Amino acid sequence: MIQINVLSEYDNKLLDRKDLFLLLDHTGQPTPRKAVVEQKIAEHFKTSPDHVEIIYIFSISGKAASRVKAKIWNKPIKKEEVKNETQTNKEMGDDKG
């Protein structure tokens, strides 16, 4: 079972989102995947997983815990567009040299 502890929560009104730093306790389990963490954060903050963006998940060595940086947007984010932008940026970098 994954337990979420909120270390820091900032309501970023300018960008219309919440910035979160979390500590996940996942005793007896490996580091959870992004999709599982998105679902757990959505349940904890009573929103849709479409509004959650995971920036990183870092395991804490020696413990069954992980540090997570995430954002909860007030509007659903389009994950396909983010992936396409990343691919376009990589392609542009490949053309340079």
DSSP letter for 93, please. H
Among all chains, which residue has been given the structure tokens 């940026």? Answer: 89
H or E stretch covering 37: helix 34-44
Model pLDDT, residue 78? 74
| pLDDT < 50: residue spans in the chain | 97
Model pLDDT, residue 94? 56
68 with 37: CB under 8 angstroms?
Answer: yes
Q: What is the reported pTM? A: 0.75
Model pLDDT, residue 77? 81
- The domain over range 3-96 is classified in CATH as 3.30.70.330: yes
Parse the chain into domains and list their residue ranges: 3-96
31-40 tens-digit pLDDT = 999 999 999 9
